Amino acid sequence: MNVLVTGGAGFIGSNVVRLLLDSGRSVTVLDNLSTGYRRNIDETAVRFIEGDVRDADRVVQAAKGADVIIHMAASVGNQRSLTDPRADTAVNALGTLNVLEAARAVGVRKVVYSSSAGIFGELRTLPIAENHPVEPDSPYGVSKLAGEKHCLAYSRLYGLEAICLRYFNVYGVNQRFDAYGNVIPIFATLLLRGEPLTVFGDGEQTRDFINVADVARANVLAACNRGVSGAFNLGSGTAVTVKHLVQLLEQAAGRSATVRHGPPRPGDVRHSLADIRAVGQALGFAPAVTLEPGLAVYVDWLGRELQVG
């Protein structure tokens, strides 16, 4: 099986690429290196194309010969989308449309799309099932929902298999500090540097954290399962408060944190917890990495990365 991974030099994408290569697949990576790193991938083992999903011709070039596209290139995060909503929409909505058009043009059989729990907006029920109302309250949530709807529409219109995986809070190896990004790399980086952490709100808000190794495995399962289309939640199925997360990071790092509090941020939900029964039934997926050992591995990797960087 030949697989194109857009955003394959990024955090999640590079983990997917490694798992694909380990399982004997042929891989092409398309990445503009805006947030990805060449050192995340082995360029001797993949066909690497530097390019942007906003460039339709470049996407077609990358897609030639692919059986499956795992589409991970994205502008990520609520806060980034509030800062630059036009760029967010151009990458996430129009970039996804370019991927789907390229898939049609060259005869790709399946697209696996990286969606987000950000499509739901403020939550009415927990855990969140796939049929929860989708009322995103940030440009990011809107653009990811638009990409998801495009994928599912193309599946119905053109017979293209499409699986949309709605990521909850992903963390793990190759995730570097980004002020707009996930709380774990932000807190872990500041903790290892001996700098104070800022908790927005009271710290009792909850998040569903899933390790990137599990996310990579779910993507490969989605790519390999023929005849399956649809949208599926992808989380750990467990929730932890931000306050408890700080304690777990302190244990993993072997040091104490200085914690400050700021006001709640616009676009941030209060609680989050995925119902993951559907993805288990459809793809045979179940998370394997629990939070404490996952954080230990991540903090160890990040400590070595910060020494290198």
Catalytic residues: 140
Contacts of 157 (CB under 8 A, 6+ apart): none
CB-based contact 115:79 (threshold 8 Å): no
* CA torsion angle 225 230 231 235 (round to 10): -20
Structure token digits, residue 56: 């339709």
Whole-angstrom CA distances from 269 to 124, 136, 138, 277, 295 are 11, 10, 11, 22, 23
Residue recorded with tokens 């499956």: 68
Instruction: Evaluate whether 211 touches 287 at the Cβ level (below 8 Å).
Output: yes
Q: Please give the biggest Cα pair distance in the chain.
A: 55
User: For residues 163 and 98, what is the distance between their CA atoms, to the nearest angstrom?
Assistant: 17
Determine contact, residues 228/163, Cβ cutoff 8 Å: yes
Can you read off the two tokens belonging to residue 119? Answer: 């499509």
Q: From the CB of residue 3, how many other CB atoms can be counted at a distance below 10 Å? A: 27
Alpha helices in the chain (DSSP H): 11-22, 56-63, 78-83, 85-89, 95-106, 139-158, 183-193, 212-224, 242-253, 277-283, 291-308
Burial of 18 by CB count in 10 Å (0-12 exposed, 13-18 middle, 19+ buried)?
A: buried
